[in-house]
Amino acid sequence: MSDVNVQRLKGLSPIARAALVQRSEADLSFFLEKVEPIIEAVRTEGDEALVHFGREFDKAEPLTKDALKATEADFDEAFALVENEVIEAIRFGIDNIRSFHEEQAPEPMWLKEIRPGAFAGDRFTPISSVALYVPRGKGSFPSVTMMTSVPGVVAGVPDLAIVTPPGPDGKVDAATLVAARIAGVETVYKVGGAQAVAAVALGTETVKKAQKIVGPGSPWVVAAKRLLAGVIDPGLPAGPSESIILTDDTVHGGLAAMDLLIEAEHGPDSSAWLVTDSERVVEQALEALPDLWRRMTEQRVEFSRTVLTGTSGGIVLAESMDDACAFVNEYAPEHLEILSTKPFEYLGEIRNAAEILLGPHTPVSIANFALGPNAVLPTSMGATTYGPLSVTDFLRRSSVGYVTAKGYPDLAKAAGTLAEYEGFSSHAVAVSALRQTYLKG
């Protein structure tokens, strides 16, 4: 497998090393230019533009303005079409995802007595409306529906709506509708891509305007979120899939190769690296890849080959596991597997990773579909400052303060002193003796 991209960290120039951490959406200039007229069309033409772009980009010729929103009949048909085994797998995953996010949810309010008679804390309330983006271009993703819907339902958002591209038949993927209903979301719009972001940001005759949008998408979606960030909260940066399989000498290289292909098969714009200090692991991984590709569908083989033979994926051979961990932190991956029989030995060295999966029995597949933690994760080095999608992404936090007559004097004295120093006379007057005059009536 000499065509697989294999890089040795030792001796790489700073430029060559920097190239290893580049993502497909690092330069969005092309997409930003193309997306602007799409946004403007949605702004001025509303539903008409959504139908036009659905037919142009998604080849959904049967799509009409009257059919932009999924109906009760669409949901019923979906449950009839999807096999019971798939429905049960969706229920299983949603049960685990709900259990995890219910545990994650903060208390509605907390107060602490900061000083005698002075209390401060936080209050959490759900955002009024959130759009959930579910991609479809390179496959069908009921799992994304599960991951975006459940935390929103747990948070108590009153207006949750899914936007997802229609298929050539003008319909929503059936399993996506099944997952939406089981999770507790009933509003689904048949619109995807940049036009979907524009629709929920600006509103159309059919699509209700939302305050926030969450969910992963193509560079087109990422570009639209960036351009509309002043109109709608774009949520965490979630673009094309990326992963690092950090592997030591305690496991077989074939296992590493198998897990390397998980995210590589998402699409040609994905990023996937096997990072190890073991020559044996590298050799075994390269030997295993041909057999693994024979077990995959033709399209997914093409996607993963493109990734692993290009510049955004392959194998990185480090001098040591310390060097390997340093590269992981530099890369800040969306998904990180620590593929080792002793994964906790390396966990303390990892600072930048959105998701950390420990040990040989925790492949990305399990986390993506069934374990419970959210699989909507920051990409393109977003893991340096963002975490996974969570219940708190669907909540707004308000600070709460309550000062009693007992606690007031000391706080008023300090506040008045600082107000006068900063030159804010009205601030100072508000905590002066005049307040006590008014309080006494």
Per-domain boundaries in the chain: 29-106+126-236, 240-388, 405-439
Distance CA 114, CA 411 (A): 11
pLDDT value of residue 138 = 66
Strand partners, 401: 120
Does the predicted model carry a pTM greater than 0.75?
A: yes
- 429 Cβ contact partners less than 8 Å away, ≥ 6 residues apart: none
pLDDT value of residue 259 = 98
Active site annotation includes 427: no
- Angle of helix 279-294 versus helix 298-309 axis, rounded to 10: 150
Exactly one of 25, 242, 263, 334 is catalytic; name it: 334
Closest among 376, 372, 330, 339 to 354, alpha carbons compared: 376
Q: What is the bridge-based pairing of β-strands 118-126 and 109-115?
A: antiparallel
Distance CA 109, CA 111 (A): 7
For the domain 29-106+126-236, what is the CATH superfamily, name and number?
Answer: Nitrogenase molybdenum iron protein domain (3.40.50.1980)
Q: How far does CA 19 lie from the centroid of its chain?
A: 24
> In Å, what is the CA distance from 61 to each residue of 88, 166, 175, 229, 327?
32, 10, 21, 31, 47
Contact 265, 304 (CB under 8 A): yes
32-37 contact pairs (CB < 8 A, 24+): 32/223, 32/226, 32/227, 34/220, 34/223, 35/194, 35/220, 35/223, 35/224, 35/227, 36/227
> In Å, what is the CA distance from 344 to each residue of 222, 341, 358, 438?
34, 9, 7, 62
SS3 letters for the chain? CCCCCEEECCCCCHHHHHHHCCCCCCCCHHHHHHHHHHHHHHHHHCHHHHHHHHHHHCCCCCCCHHHCECCHHHHHHHHHHCCHHHHHHHHHHHHHHHHHHHHHCCCCEEEEEEECCEEEEEEEEECCEEEEECCCCCCCCHHHHHHHHHHHHHHCCCEEEEEECCCCCCCCCHHHHHHHHHHCCCEEEECCHHHHHHHHHHCCCCCCCCCEEECCCCHHHHHHHHHCCCCCECCCCCCCCEEEEEECCCCCHHHHHHHHHHHHCCCCCCEEEEEECCHHHHHHHHHHHHHHHHCCCHHHHHHHHHHHHCCCEEEEECCCHHHHHHHHHHHCCCEEEEECCCCHHHHCCCCCCCEEEECCCCCHHHHHHCCCCCCCCCCCCHHHCCCCCCHHHHEEEEEEEEECCCCHHHHHHHHHHHHHHHCCHHHHHHCCHHHHHHHCC
CATH topology of domain 240-388: Rossmann fold (3.40.50)
pLDDT value of residue 22 = 86
Active site annotation includes 334: yes
- Taking the alpha carbons at both ends of the chain, their separation in whole angstroms is 87
Examine domains 29-106+126-236 and 240-388 and report if their fold is the same: yes
> In Å, what is the CA distance from 245 to each residue of 11, 16, 125, 311?
22, 20, 38, 17
Distance CA 371, CA 357 (A): 11
Exactly one of 335, 349, 355, 427 is catalytic; name it: 335
Give me the average pLDDT of each 10-residue run along the chain (441 residues).
86 90 79 96 98 95 96 97 97 98 97 97 98 86 96 98 96 96 98 98 98 94 95 92 97 98 93 97 97 95 95 96 97 97 98 97 96 95 95 98 97 97 97 94 79
Structure token digits, residue 16 = 């060559």
As a dihedral over the C-alpha atoms of residue 162, residue 167, residue 171, residue 173, rounded to 10 degrees, the angle is -60
